């Protein structure tokens, strides 16, 4: 029976909705009125029939529901929300007439921003009307007081407008926040800050529970995107116009131009009106508003919205559905019926109030549907409105609380579900831009995809749409400008710099005007001029009243940290300790530690320069090989080559001349033996390689003026006990101490002139052998005195020179980007060429920069090994062949039949070795056959006499003579012509 009733009621509701839609269509299209009218009559008839057929319920149980809202006479929002609650009950019971419960609204109003008034109204509802639940009050601060009453009376407190995260920390089991928590929007706000790269943000909020609960969470979210909060602007909810203007003027004197407004809608209206009045809604300003304001934009007056032109905000996203459009249409008609003189639009708070009323009605039916009487545990409690000790407790409060915690349905704003008293929603936000007439959507933010242009399930588009900023500007503000009111950026600059080329501070004694120049100063000036906005600044010397330096570079950075300076400009090295107090820009020049040393000039006018291409061991090795090759060639050639014969002195000089002449390939003697040619082929190749290298190195010595550093590293200086200089740089000093230098070997200098003089003197004369300093300074010295000193290194690298700014300075990213552009382009090089000049007379070629030392034996040991092996092998082959051919000398007896001694045989062998080889083809071709085959008994020709006298110079004394008779005997005939010649030389008297 109940099922049939519910079906009929649902059909009736559906027909009524269709009838309303047809009415809308008839108004828009009058031509269709006749056709639609017939259908409308049918619908009405059917609806009446169903209504007459419905059985009437018997006296449903009435349950009181409290509603606490502020003054309806002056609050458009209160009227809108109350009408939403009333319409929700009407829609709920119209579709569910068979329910046994009926919620009866008990309304109480109070003055706006009155905490005691809201608490008094709730107390009145609990004690006098015995309400089972309360919807309201409006603000988070008012709700926090009413929650305690609900806990004591066991009455659920339902809020559709209190969104502060601090309410959840109360841990009340009877409080239900049926609105989106503000903590969900901080990610969307920080995403906008990150997208535009703003580094500083100032929140503006009211000193209430509503705002205080939001700001700590917002600050943490901003820190995650590397943005900081330098100042918090707190405005009293009851602030006057003058107080608001005073706070705005204070904000105008600050650097930050990005403001996040998180106040009530009433305070927001006054704030933006005064911001426009003082000129803070112009170009360069950024105003972001939270969802508490954007969700109420539709209810704000048009004059208020016109003052918010260019504001960007996050708004709770509600998906458009048919049900939502139908509710909006019916609510509009219902609202105009009761408030004809009020123009309002339904906002998300009204939708939450509608869904919250549905949830209470469903939970009430579930708990009290079978109960005939509703009451409290102490019905005889006193009616004293302030008697909290006699506050009664609801009998069904715990059950109603449990029912609300488990209620789920498809709501108008979103799918309705509750977890730990908090409404669960998708946490989607719409990013809106106020254009003076209202808010237009420019994008969305989702927890999964961040900022997107459109919500497309298939492809989420990144970024957001174009924004019209305050002042009708389409260019995104930088978020930081120079403060108004005449304040300039205070730039601290060091004085008495050890290198004036980087920073030089001069003071006019007459006018006391400060003039600053130098490489670092020009870089900072060029960077500021390249910024997209004007940045007035002034240099403030970091000096004592007497003009002396007030401290080190680290002290200067610490003064920036303390706020005495807004920045520090100079040749400031980025270090770990300084980074604890300040932030550095991108380094404008690379740095490190390098060494400057005097150079040893090697000039071509040196008389012994021709010996320098080779080391002494290479000269000695080459000379030995020349002698060895000459000896080998003589051994291989003197028996068969006329060029290598003659007296001993002649043969020695010929061998030496032949060997050394191969160096320039001017040898005239011919080599006729195969082994000699083999040896010479290998040796000539070796000589060719040696000659090429010698010529190349000697040419560079004569044509290039080389500058060689006297020491080549710190280890050389340390091992030789040399003095080393350094400037006023504690990092360099500590580095030298770590290397191993003692204080007695370290010299401290303050300026460039002292350094140049000390390097000129040298360590032996009280100066230094080298200067160790940072790379830019070493480069400066080497370029200024390039004909005397050179730079070695860097020995190790550091982070370079940069400008110091306070932590999280908003201008620092802009300066860093400009410096990067200058480094990539030609601007930095042109500035550097002015202060760190490269003298064209000192420019060194690649041969000068890479000094080549003399060539030693290690470069040619393979060639010498090949030449030595080839020569030795040829010599062994020749000796073995010669001994084998004349082996009979060791076996043939003397003519008298006696066996000669070993020494005699060796003498005979050397004698044969010293003679010509008449069997060699060269001799056979040059002599007639009769001369070769002549007997020793024949008379000698003058040629023979000359040869005989010449060759006998090598005759050995004490040799045995042989008679002509013995020579002619067949058995004593020599086996080879060599023996005949040898015997003839030994016994010249034989004729």
Q: What is the pLDDT of residues 459-506, one digit of tens each?
A: 556 678 889 999 888 888 888 776 545 568 899 999 876 778 889 898
3-state helix, strand, coil in the chain (%, to 5): 50, 15, 35
For residues 909 and 892, the answer to whether their CB atoms sit within 8 Å is no
Distance CA 951, CA 978 (A): 13
Residues in the chain: 991
363-374 pLDDT, tens digit each? 999 988 777 666
Mean pLDDT, rounded, for 583-598: 86
For residues 343 and 301, the answer to whether their CB atoms sit within 8 Å is no
3-state secondary structure 363-429: HHHHHHCCCCCCCECCCCCCCCCCCHHHCCCECCHHHHHHHHHCCCEECCCCEECEECCEECCCCCE
Mean pLDDT of the chain: 77
Distance CA 317, CA 305 (A): 20
Percent of the chain with pLDDT over 70: 77
Nearest to 665, CA basis, from 687, 647, 693: 687
Q: So what's the pLDDT on residue 18?
A: 45
Find which of 356-360, 656-660, 882-886 is predicted with most confidence, using mean pLDDT.
356-360
Backbone angles phi, psi at 104, to 5 degrees: -115, 120
Confidence band, pLDDT 50/70/90 cuts, at residue 313:
very high
Question: Any idea what DSSP says for residue 892?
Answer: P
Q: So what's the pLDDT on residue 791?
A: 82
> Other C-beta atoms within 10 Å of 802: how many?
27
Mean pLDDT, rounded, for 218-232: 89
Sheet holding 286-289, edge to edge: 233-235, 202-206, 258-262, 286-289, 312-316, 429-434, 439-446, 450-452
Q: What is the pTM of this model?
A: 0.59
Confidence band, pLDDT 50/70/90 cuts, at residue 955:
very low
138-195 pLDDT, tens digit each? 888 888 889 988 888 899 999 998 888 888 777 788 999 998 888 889 999 999 999 9
Confidence band, pLDDT 50/70/90 cuts, at residue 717:
confident
Find which of 17-26, 404-413, 433-442, 834-843 is predicted with most confidence, using mean pLDDT.
404-413
Distance CA 305, CA 313 (A): 13
Could you tell me whether strands 233-235 and 202-206 are parallel, antiparallel, or unpaired per DSSP bridges? parallel
273-293 pLDDT, tens digit each? 999 999 999 988 999 999 989
In angstroms, how far is CA 957 from the centroid of its own chain? Answer: 96
Q: So what's the pLDDT on residue 379?
A: 47
For residues 428 and 317, the answer to whether their CB atoms sit within 8 Å is yes
Q: So what's the pLDDT on residue 561?
A: 93
**What is the distance between the terminal CA atoms of the chain, rounded to a whole angstrom?**
169
- Interacting residues of 443 by C-beta distance below 8 A, sequence separation 6+: 430, 431, 451, 452, 453, 454, 463, 464, 465
Whether 965 has a pLDDT exceeding 50, the answer reads no
Q: So what's the pLDDT on residue 462?
A: 67
Q: So what's the pLDDT on residue 979?
A: 38
Q: Tokens in use for 249?
A: 């003027």
Q: Tokens in use for 349?
A: 């708070």
Helix (H, G, I), strand (E, B) or coil at 84: helix
For residues 294 and 432, the answer to whether their CB atoms sit within 8 Å is yes
Distance CA 424, CA 415 (A): 8
Percent of the chain with pLDDT over 90: 21
Nearest to 250, CA basis, from 299, 191, 204: 204
Nearest to 323, CA basis, from 9, 13, 12, 8: 13
Least confident among 35-39, 75-79, 570-574: 35-39
Q: So what's the pLDDT on residue 381?
A: 46
329-348 pLDDT, tens digit each? 999 888 888 887 777 888 89
Distance CA 146, CA 118 (A): 7
Q: So what's the pLDDT on residue 186?
A: 93
Confidence band, pLDDT 50/70/90 cuts, at residue 737:
confident
Helix (H, G, I), strand (E, B) or coil at 917: coil
661-681 pLDDT, tens digit each? 776 665 666 777 888 788 888
Question: Any idea what DSSP says for residue 970?
Answer: S
> Other C-beta atoms within 10 Å of 136: how many?
32
Nearest to 213, CA basis, from 276, 165, 268, 147: 165
For residues 270 and 241, the answer to whether their CB atoms sit within 8 Å is yes
Distance CA 685, CA 871 (A): 13
Find which of 48-62, 402-416, 902-916 is predicted with most confidence, using mean pLDDT.
402-416
For residues 71 and 114, the answer to whether their CB atoms sit within 8 Å is no
591-637 pLDDT, tens digit each? 778 888 887 654 444 567 777 787 888 888 888 888 888 788 887 77
């Amino acid at each position: 029976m109940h099922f049939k009733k519910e079906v009929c009621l649902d059909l009736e509701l559906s027909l009524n909705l269709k009838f309303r839609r047809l009415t809308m269509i008839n108004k828009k299209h009058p031509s269709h009125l006749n056709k639609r009218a017939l259908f409308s009559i049918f619908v009405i008839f059917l609806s009446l029939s169903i209504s007459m057929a419905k059985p009437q319920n018997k006296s449903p149980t009435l349950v009181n529901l409290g509603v606490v809202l502020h003054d309806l006479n002056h609050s458009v929002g209160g009227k809108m929300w109350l009408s939403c609650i009333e319409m929700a009950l009407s829609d709920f019971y119209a579709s569910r007439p068979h329910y046994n419960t009926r919620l009866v609204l008990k309304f109480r109003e109070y003055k706006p921003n009155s905490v005691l008034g809201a608490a008094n109204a709730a107390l009145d509802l609990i004690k006098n009307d015995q309400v089972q639940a309360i919807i309201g009050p409006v603000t988070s601060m008012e709700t926090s007081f009413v929650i305690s009453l609900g806990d004591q009376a066991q009455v659920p407190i339902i809020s559709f407008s209190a969104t502060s995260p601090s309410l959840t920390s109360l841990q009340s089991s009877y409080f239900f926040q049926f609105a989106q928590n503000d903590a969900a929007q901080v990610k969307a706000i920080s995403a906008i800050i990150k997208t535009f790269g703003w580094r500083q943000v100032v929140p503006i909020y009211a000193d209430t529970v509503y705002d205080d609960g939001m700001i700590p969470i917002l600050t943490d979210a901003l820190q995650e995107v590397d943005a900081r909060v330098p100042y918090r602007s707190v405005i009293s909810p009851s602030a006057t116009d003058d107080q608001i203007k005073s706070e705005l003027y204070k904000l105008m004197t600050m650097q930050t131009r990005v403001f996040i407004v998180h106040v009530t809608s009433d305070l927001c209206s006054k704030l933006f009106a005064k911001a426009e009045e003082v000129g803070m809604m112009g170009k360069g300003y950024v105003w972001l508003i939270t969802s508490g304001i954007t969700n109420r934009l539709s209810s704000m007056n048009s004059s208020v919205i016109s003052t918010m032109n260019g504001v960007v905000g996050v708004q709770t996203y509600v998906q458009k559905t048919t049900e939502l459009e139908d509710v909006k249409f019916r609510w509009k008609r219902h609202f105009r019926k009761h408030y004809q003189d009020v123009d309002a639009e339904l906002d998300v708070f009204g939708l939450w109030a509608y869904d919250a009323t549905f949830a209470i009605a469903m939970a009430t039916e579930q708990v009290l549907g079978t109960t005939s009487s509703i009451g409290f545990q102490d019905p005889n409690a006193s009616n004293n409105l302030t008697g909290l000790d006699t506050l009664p407790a609801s009998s069904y409060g715990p059950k109603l609380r449990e029912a609300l915690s488990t209620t789920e349905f498809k709501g108008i704003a979103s799918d309705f579900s509750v977890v730990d008293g908090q409404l669960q929603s998708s946490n989607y936000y719409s990013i809106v831009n106020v254009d003076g007439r209202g808010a237009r959507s420019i994008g969305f933010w989702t927890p999964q995809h961040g900022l997107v242009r459109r919500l497309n399930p298939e492809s989420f588009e990144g970024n957001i749409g174009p924004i019209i900023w305050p002042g009708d500007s389409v260019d995104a503000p930088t978020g930081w400008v120079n403060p108004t009111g005449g304040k300039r950026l205070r730039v601290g600059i060091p004085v008495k710099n050890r290198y004036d080329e980087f920073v030089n501070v001069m003071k006019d004694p007459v006018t006391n005007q400060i003039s600053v120049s130098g490489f670092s100063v020009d870089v900072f000036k060029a960077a500021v001029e390249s910024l997209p906005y004007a940045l007035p600044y002034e240099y403030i010397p970091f000096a004592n009243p007497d003009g002396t330096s007030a401290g080190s570079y680290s002290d200067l950075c610490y003064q920036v940290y303390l706020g005495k300076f807004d920045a520090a400009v100079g040749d400031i090295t980025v270090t770990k300790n300084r980074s604890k107090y300040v932030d550095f820009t991108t380094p404008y020049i690379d740095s490190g530690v390098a060494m400057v040393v005097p150079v040893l000039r090697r000039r071509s006018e040196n008389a012994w320069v021709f010996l320098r291409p080779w080391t002494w061991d290479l000269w000695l090795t080459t000379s030995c090989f020349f002698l060895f090759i000459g000896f080998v060639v003589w051994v291989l050639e003197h028996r068969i080559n006329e060029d290598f014969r003659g007296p001993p002195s002649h043969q020695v000089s010929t061998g030496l001349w032949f060997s050394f002449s191969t160096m320039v390939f001017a040898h005239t003697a011919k080599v006729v033996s195969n082994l000699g040619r083999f040896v010479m082929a290998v040796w000539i190749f070796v000589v060719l390689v040696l000659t090429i290298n010698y010529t190349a190195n000697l040419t560079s010595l004569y044509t290039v003026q080389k500058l060689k550093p006297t020491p080549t590293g710190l280890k050389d200086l340390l091992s030789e006990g040399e003095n080393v200089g350094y400037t006023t740089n504690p990092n360099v000093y500590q580095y030298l101490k770590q290397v191993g230098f003692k204080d007695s070997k370290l010299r401290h200098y303050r300026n460039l002139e002292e350094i140049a003089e000390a390097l000129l003197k040298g360590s032996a004369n009280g100066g230094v052998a080298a200067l160790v300093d940072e790379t830019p300074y070493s480069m400066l010295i080497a370029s200024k005195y390039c004909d005397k000193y050179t730079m070695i290194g860097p020995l190790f690298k550091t982070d370079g020179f940069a400008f110091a700014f306070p932590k999280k300075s908003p201008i620092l990213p802009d300066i860093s980007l400009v410096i990067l552009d200058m480094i990539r382009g030609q601007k930095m090089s042109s500035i550097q060429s002015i202060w760190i000049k490269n003298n064209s007379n000192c420019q060194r070629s690649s041969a000068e920069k890479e000094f080549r030392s003399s060539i030693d034996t290690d470069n040619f040991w393979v060639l010498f090994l090949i030449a030595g092996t080839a020569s030795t092998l040829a010599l062994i082959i020749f000796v073995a062949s010669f001994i084998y051919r004349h082996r009979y000398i060791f076996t043939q007896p003397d003519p008298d039949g006696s066996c000669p001694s070993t020494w005699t045989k060796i003498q005979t062998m050397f004698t044969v070795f010293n003679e010509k080889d008449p069997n060699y083809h060269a001799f056979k071709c040059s002599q007639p056959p009769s001369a070769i085959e002549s007997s020793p008994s024949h008379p000698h020709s003058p040629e023979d006499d000359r040869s005989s006298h010449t060759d006998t110079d090598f005759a050995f004394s004490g040799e045995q003579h042989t008679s002509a008779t013995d020579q002619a005997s067949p058995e004593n005939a020599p086996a080879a012509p060599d023996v005949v010649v040898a015997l003839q030389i030994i016994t010249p008297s034989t004729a």
